[in-house]
């Protein structure tokens, strides 16, 4: 354990959005060092789905950082709230699960987090062990310390209330349950994503109201999906699963937009910050080389020893043999305008799809001109910049050589 609390704060600062409050955390770290007593770092997980992706690992990696600094990780499996349904960050209540579904998901989740967390400094508890036997009068006593107006300050509740979307009473009780978890495990720090900030702060208040030292709330960024923009999500099909095969994982990382590299390096790897700056600076490192190192690093973390084979397979499939010998030509003459060529119209014509579908594909990084992704759907391209260039569209790599018959 680092002997200086500022050293620990510096190590923990990477990828952290907010700490409430830094002074409290420094004080807790100082006391931990003086008494040789590890801090108890809480992370609650909802076993509503059996698999986790790289987006989930951002906060798990933060928990591992605490472990590496000598602190004690407390992973709370939210098996009891999963039976209730958690609306966090959603416009409607999450479906309730059966006990069998919850337990199956929890087991799978624990198998996967073992790839990230150190088991010797990990305590795993299910909050049903204290919530299930909780007397009703005790729940009322806890709820009496919170107000409805306080809960309606949460963004997703506010939006649903304004839209007239139902908010059920059990959803408020979910916040009571999560806060009570902090009391039961006597958390020094609770981790979560930025969408959990309100919940973590409720835990701070309840601990203080019940005479405990309030936990520090630490939030981490939400990882964008591999196409950029929206957060990583299986429902949006923009995710990288931690159990995916090495080649699939490597290929997905190689497909991310260049401007996502620094975020992925920072949140998903332990590569030093000066090296990240070098790898993400196109004046110092070609973006392809930067992504290759990123993909190798991530694959190695979840599939030790498999990165070389994944890189070789990707190179053979997408680099060396990506362009077929006979590439069909596409005439852009009908799409040339005074200000240039609208790539959205070209892609829509080739795929026989709507303009909105073509625009979405371009914005998600699915179109390349001359080997470079084009993400701007509003800026017209000059005829000179397009003619005789290869146009690549979609994941299946449809290639066309652009020509113009304009006289």
Asked if 172 contacts 200 with a C-beta cutoff of 8 angstroms, the reply is no
For residues 374 and 262, membership in a common domain is answered with no
Overall average pLDDT of the 291-302 stretch:
97
Domain presence at residue 15: yes
**Alpha-carbon distance 244 to 237, whole Å?**
13
For residues 95 and 211, membership in a common domain is answered with yes
For residues 263 and 360, membership in a common domain is answered with no
Domain presence at residue 239: no
Task: Say which DSSP state 257 is in.
Answer: -
Q: Which of 21-30, 119-128, 214-223, 377-386 comes out lowest in average pLDDT?
A: 377-386
Average pLDDT over the chain reads 88
Which of 320, 345, 371 is the C-terminal boundary of a domain? 320
pLDDT band per the 50, 70, 90 thresholds, residue 1 = low
**Alpha-carbon distance 177 to 109, whole Å?**
21
Task: Give the chain's radius of gyration (CA, Å).
Answer: 25
Percentage of the chain modeled with pLDDT above 70: 93
Domain presence at residue 358: yes
Domain presence at residue 241: no
In the structure, how many helices (H) and strands (E) does the chain have? 19, 13
Query: What does the pLDDT read at residue 294?
Result: 98
Residue-wise pLDDT tens digits, 168-216? 888 888 889 999 999 999 999 999 999 899 999 999 999 999 999 999 9
Residue that is written with structure tokens 């039976």 in the block:
83
Question: CATH number of the domain that 49 lies in?
Answer: 3.40.50.620
Residue-wise pLDDT tens digits, 244-258? 999 999 999 998 999
Question: What DSSP element (H or E) covers 252?
Answer: helix 246-254
Overall average pLDDT of the 75-87 stretch:
77
More confident of the two residues 324 and 309:
309
Residue-wise pLDDT tens digits, 130-146? 999 999 999 999 999 98
Q: Which domain holds residue 352?
A: 329-403
pLDDT band per the 50, 70, 90 thresholds, residue 88 = very low
Which of 278, 296, 320 is the C-terminal boundary of a domain? 320
pLDDT band per the 50, 70, 90 thresholds, residue 86 = low
Domain presence at residue 229: no
Task: Say which DSSP state 36 is in.
Answer: T
Residue-wise pLDDT tens digits, 339-365? 888 999 999 999 889 999 999 999 988
Overall average pLDDT of the 70-94 stretch:
73
Q: How many CA atoms within 13 Å lie on the side-chain side of 188?
A: 20
For residues 344 and 372, membership in a common domain is answered with yes
Q: Are strands 40-45 and 189-193 parallel, antiparallel or unpaired?
A: parallel
Query: What does the pLDDT read at residue 89?
Result: 45
Query: What does the pLDDT read at residue 2?
Result: 58
Does the pLDDT at position 395 exceed 80? no
Preceding omega of 98 cis (within 30 degrees of 0): no
Overall average pLDDT of the 283-288 stretch:
91
For residues 79 and 188, membership in a common domain is answered with yes
Query: What does the pLDDT read at residue 319?
Result: 61
Domains of the chain: total:
3
**Alpha-carbon distance 45 to 218, whole Å?**
15
Does the pLDDT at position 407 exceed 50? no
For residues 171 and 108, membership in a common domain is answered with yes
For residues 260 and 316, membership in a common domain is answered with yes
Tokens of 253: 């990382």
Question: CATH number of the domain that 394 lies in?
Answer: 3.10.290.10
Asked if 28 contacts 216 with a C-beta cutoff of 8 angstroms, the reply is yes
**Alpha-carbon distance 211 to 355, whole Å?**
60
Asked if 257 contacts 227 with a C-beta cutoff of 8 angstroms, the reply is yes
For residues 125 and 42, membership in a common domain is answered with yes
Domain presence at residue 295: yes
For residues 76 and 214, membership in a common domain is answered with yes
Asked if 369 contacts 359 with a C-beta cutoff of 8 angstroms, the reply is no
Query: What does the pLDDT read at residue 14?
Result: 87
For residues 55 and 79, membership in a common domain is answered with yes
Query: What does the pLDDT read at residue 102?
Result: 84
User: Backbone phi, then psi, for 139, in 5-degree steps?
Assistant: -60, -40
Domain presence at residue 240: no
Overall average pLDDT of the 392-399 stretch:
79
For residues 106 and 173, membership in a common domain is answered with yes
Does the pLDDT at position 70 exceed 80? yes
Tokens of 313: 């397979």
For residues 68 and 215, membership in a common domain is answered with yes
Q: How many CA atoms within 13 Å lie on the side-chain side of 342?
A: 13
Q: Are strands 72-77 and 216-220 parallel, antiparallel or unpaired?
A: unpaired
Helix axes of 261-268 and 287-302: crossing angle, nearest 10 degrees = 30
Which of 320, 345, 366 is the C-terminal boundary of a domain? 320
More confident of the two residues 396 and 323:
396
Q: Which one of 93-97, 183-187, 309-313 scores highest in mean pLDDT? A: 183-187
Domain presence at residue 232: no
Question: CATH number of the domain that 275 lies in?
Answer: 1.10.240.10
């Amino acid at each position: 354990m680092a002997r200086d609390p500022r050293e620990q704060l510096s190590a923990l600062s990477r990828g952290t959005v907010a700490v409430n409050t830094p002074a409290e955390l420094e004080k807790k770290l100082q006391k931990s060092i003086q008494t040789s007593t590890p801090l108890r770092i809480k992370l609650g997980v909802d076993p509503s789905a059996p698999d986790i992706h790289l987006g989930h690992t951002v906060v798990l990696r933060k928990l591992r950082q605490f472990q590496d600094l000598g602190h004690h990780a407390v992973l709370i499996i939210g098996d009891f709230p999963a039976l209730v349904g958690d609306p966090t960050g959603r416009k409607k209540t999450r479906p309730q699960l059966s006990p069998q579904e919850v337990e199956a998901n929890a087991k799978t989740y624990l198998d996967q987090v073992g790839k990230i967390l150190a088991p010797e400094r990990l305590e795993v508890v299910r909050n049903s062990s204290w919530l299930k036997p909780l007397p009703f009068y005790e729940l009322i006593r806890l709820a009496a310390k919170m107000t409805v107006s306080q809960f309606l300050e949460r963004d997703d509740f506010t939006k649903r209330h304004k839209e007239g979307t139902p908010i059920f009473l059990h959803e408020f009780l979910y916040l009571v349950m999560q806060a009570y978890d902090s009391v039961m495990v006597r958390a020094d720090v609770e981790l979560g994503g930025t969408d959990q900030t309100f919940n973590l702060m409720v835990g701070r208040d309840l601990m203080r109201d019940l005479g405990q030292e309030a936990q520090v709330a630490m939030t981490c960024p939400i990882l964008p999906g591999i196409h950029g923009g929206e957060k990583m999500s299986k429902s949006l099909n923009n995710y990288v699963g931690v159990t995916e095969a090495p080649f699939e994982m490597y290929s997905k990382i190689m497909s991310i937009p260049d401007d996502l590299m620094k975020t992925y390096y920072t949140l998903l790897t332990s590569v030093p910050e000066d090296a990240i700056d070098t790898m993400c600076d196109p004046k110092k490192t070609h973006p392809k080389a930067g992504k290759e190192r990123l993909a190798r690093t991530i694959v190695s973390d979840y599939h030790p020893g498999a990165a070389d084979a994944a890189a070789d397979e990707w190179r053979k499939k997408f680099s060396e043999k990506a362009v077929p010998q006979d590439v069909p030509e596409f005439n852009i003459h009908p799409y040339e305008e005074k200000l240039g060529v609208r790539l959205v119209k070209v892609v829509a014509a080739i795929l026989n799809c709507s303009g909105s579908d073509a625009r979405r594909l371009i914005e998600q990084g699915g179109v390349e001109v001359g080997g470079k992704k084009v993400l701007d759907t509003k800026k017209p391209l000059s005829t000179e910049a397009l003619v005789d260039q290869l146009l690549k569209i979609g994941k299946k790599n449809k290639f066309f050589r652009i020509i113009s018959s304009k006289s």
